[in-house]
Structure formats: C-alpha cells, structure tokens
Amino acid sequence: MIASLAISFLPVAAAEDSAYRITAACGPYFVCDRRVVEDYWNIARFVPPLVRHTKNPLIVREHPWEGTGPHMGGSVLRDPETGRFRMWYSVFNRHAYDNKLPFSYNVCYAESDDGLTWRKPMLGVFDYQGSTSNNCIRLGTDKTQNIDVCLNPTPGVDPGRFLAIHNQRGGVFVSTSDDGATFRRLIEQAAISYHSDTHNNFVFDESHERWLLFCRPRAYAGDHKRRVSVQTSPDLRHWTHERTILVPTETEAQEYYGMTVFRRGDLFFGVVQIYDRMTGLLYAELAWSGDGEHWDMLPKHPPLLAVGQKGAWDAGMVLLAESPVAVGDELWFYYGGFPLPHDTKEENVGAIGLAIAERDRMIGMRLRANEAGTILTRPFVPGGRRLTVNARVHGRLTAELRRDNNKPIPGFTLADCDGVIESGFAREFRWKGRGLSDCPEREVRLLFQLEDAELFSLDLETKSGR
C-alpha cells in the first residue's frame, strides 16, 4: 500500500499561532496541495487533458448478455501476482429493464496481458438463459448495477483477496471474493440503505485507518440528487451518515453525476462526472483533496477528458473507471464511451477505451505571463534527504532554500542552483554540486523559480531510499 504523508502543526514563533509543516518522508508531494505549497506568484494551475489511445475503442459489444454494450461502471486492476490486467465492467439490458426482469443490470469480467488486447473468459458462474457459458460474474440477487473492486488492503481483518461495493435492490452492499468471479456479501446489512444511482466507489485511507465511500446523498435541494457525498467507516460494517461534499458553483453545469476517487501519494484525486442537462453530454473534470472530504477544483473547470468529436463512439458521454493503472511512466485511465447523449431515446451502444496521462502529471503549475514565476513551499526538515521534481522543462527550473523568515540560505540560493534544464519524473536539484542533505539548517522552505517550465510534484527521499 502507499505510505502516507503526515501534516502536523508546528509552532514557529511566539507571535504566531502555528504553521503547517511537511513532516513525513514519503511523496510525491503535489504542488496543487495546499499542505505542501504556501504561496505562488505569477503562476497558474492547469490540468493536462488525457490523451486518447489510437486503438480505441478496445472493448466492444460481442455477446447478447452484454445488452447495450460494455459500460465502464467498474474497475481495472493490475494483478500484482501475475501482472495481468483485470477488468470488471457493467452491462445494461433495456428489454429486461422495461419488463422488470432480473439482472437488467449486471457486471462482466475481462482480462488482458498488455492492457490493450482484451479477452472475455467464459467464467461458468452465472446462469444466462439456461447457460453459464458467459463472462458474467456472480453477485447480487436480482441485479448488480455498477461495481468498484479493489485488492483487499486489510487481509488480516477482512476475508477474500478482493473487496467490492455495488448497487443492488435495497442499497449499496460490500462484498468479498477470492477469485474475482464469485462474490459474497461481507455482511447482509447495506452500507447505503437507499438507491444511490451512480458509480459508487470506496477508498481505504491508511493515514486514518478508515474507508471513504463516495455516493449520492439522500437529501437534496433540487429535482435530482446528482451531487457527491461521502460516508466513512473504520471497518466496512459501521458507516456514518452521508454528507454532501461537492455542489456545483455558479460557473458550472448544475449536476454532478458522480465522482470516482483514487490516491497518489497522500493526495486524493477525484474524477467528477459533469452532466450538462441542456445538452445531455457527460464529461470528466479533475478534483483533489488532502483528506477526502474537502475538495478543490480549478475555477475555470477545464475537462480532464472531454467527449469525443461529433460522430465518434464516445461523442455523447465519457465515464472513467474508479482509478488508473500505473504502467511505466504513464497512468492508464480506462473509460466507457457512448456516441449519444445521456437523455437520448435511441439505443446508445457503449464501448470501453483508454486515455493516458504521464505519471503523476494530472495537475501542475506553470507561468501566467512571460516573466518568471515562483512557488514557495511550507517548511520541512531537510536532513539526510535529496530533492527531486517531476517537471516538464523547456527553459529552466531553479530553486533556493529559505529560512522561515523568507531569507535565502547562503550557498543554496537561486544563483548557486545548478538548475534543471531537461524534463523528467525525478530530476534532482543541486547547488554547485551540493545536495539538499548538505544544508546545515534544521528547517527550510523551498522557493522554485519557473522559466518556461511546468512543475507537477516534488519528492524528498533519504539517500538510502524512502
């Protein structure tokens, strides 16, 4: 599991109440995180849009039990034991739904060796029209509407190799599985005892040893509950009341269809499903949070993944899986696409494709104008560490160490900095050959100066690693 970054309060002067201090040893530390960056000047935050794969769509409708085609109301994992990609995706049968037949919603399974060419193994566990020769998993009593599957992060506490949540008549339930094909309920009581008609998903928060479940609220002001709420649990069995955490502002579309959440380092990232009722289009926007409950979004609301071009297989809606898969220096985001808008009366046949981000470059900082821009971090202890950055550099990126009084430390100024002049995911900073660990100060801040450069994250590693 990913180690956590702890943020604590540190008194810094008698005249001041307290200040944040970066205290833990494990990053990456994203520059969008207010717990990491104190201030910035002539700098703009930005979200690089995901890049669609040229082979899209990767998974299409092939079998009658797939109904209107594969929907990405599910999960994709890379099995740490085999390296194989494993996918759970949703399907919808309009005829069964209109005639109130069981399993109008269901979940199917696919797998791949390279993440691009997928096969749909006949699992032999679900009866479809008298035959078990299909790739449907066995879960639920009369429907399985959307699913979130994760590798069990608490194997000594909860049974099974996989844990999952899914919609079922009566609410949203937690289930467990040893093989990913046959699931059983962890407990009979629903985690959400009402219908939360979205891609509900859960994340384990190691820092606080709790689960966060993102869903729709019961209470809402308008004519629909398309908002994002969260509820928490220490054990997947006892849950708090849900609390609404994301409501559209005056500059946004009125409805959030849902939000899928994942973690990188100690930061939560959310992919908000923006639904524009006027057009029926549904696309993705990025949000982020330090604690999973208080969220930030860019005020100009750029899409992380917009709908495809007119006539494309994903021109009407795009909905991402709950978390990306790390592949080398990339993050692979699988998503479901539909050619028509959400409110269409025509058959809307779904498929699944892939969009890619460079590793941990979901959001970054760059210049607002042509002159140099600067970014100041919160204080931290430099002892025994090396400083690296994830940056895209066309010009130059320099840094200096400062005391808490904002004065540069001699020998570690911008003029002393060797600078970073090439892009990289872990470019080290040095000052006339000296590294961060050579600084004698007990506590420092970092001031980055950007000249035609984009900074995404920094990392503070010990010489022997993390």
Contact 146, 195 (CB under 8 A): no
Q: Are 49 and 303 in contact (CB under 8 A)?
A: yes
Predicted confidence band of residue 64 (pLDDT cuts 50, 70, 90): very high
Q: What is the mean pLDDT of residues 257-261?
A: 96
Q: Could you tell me if 160 and 153 are in contact, meaning their C-beta atoms sit under 8 angstroms apart?
A: no
Q: What residues does each domain of the chain span? A: 7-46+364-462, 51-358
pLDDT digits (tens, 9 = 90+) for 208-219: 999 999 999 999
What's the distance, CA 117 to chain centroid? 24
Question: Tell me, what DSSP letter sits at residue 278?
Answer: T
The predicted pLDDT at position 254 comes to 87
Residue recorded with tokens 């009593």:
141
CATH number for domain 7-46+364-462, candidates 1.20.1050, 2.60.40, 1.10.357, 2.60.120: 2.60.120
Q: How far apart are CA 36 and CA 13, in angstroms?
A: 20
Average pLDDT, stretch 425-440? 95
Count of CB atoms within 10 A of residue 100's CB? Answer: 8
Confidence (pLDDT) at 337: 98
Here the tokens at position 100 are: 């109130």
Cβ atoms < 10 Å from Cβ of 98: 9
Evaluate the CA torsion angle 333, 277, 73, 92 in order and state its sign.
negative
Unique residue bearing structure tokens 């100024």 = 413
Is 16 a residue whose pLDDT tops 50? no
Task: Say if CB 349 and CB 340 are below 8 A apart.
Answer: no
CA angle 217, 273, 288 (to 5 degrees): 85
Q: How far apart are CA 163 and CA 84, in angstroms?
A: 18
The phi-psi region of residue 82 (left if phi > 0; otherwise alpha if psi is between -120 and 50; otherwise beta) is alpha
What's the confidence (pLDDT) of residue 463? 60
SS3 185: strand
Please work out, in degrees rounded to the nearest 5, the angle formed at the alpha carbon of residue 249 by the alpha carbons of 299 and 335: 70
How many other β-carbons are positioned within 10 Å of the β-carbon of residue 358? 16
Domain 51-358 has CATH 2.160.10.10: no
pLDDT tens column, 317-351? 999 999 999 999 999 999 999 999 999 989 999 99
pLDDT tens profile 89-146: 999 999 999 999 999 999 999 999 999 999 999 999 999 999 999 999 999 889 999 9
Q: What is the pLDDT of residue 17?
A: 36
Q: Please tell me the least confidently modeled range out of 4-18, 151-165, 189-203, 409-423.
A: 4-18
Buried b or exposed e, range 229-259, using 16+ CB within 10 angstroms: bbbbbeebeebeebebbbebeeebbebbbbb
Q: How far apart are CA 233 and CA 115, in angstroms?
A: 33
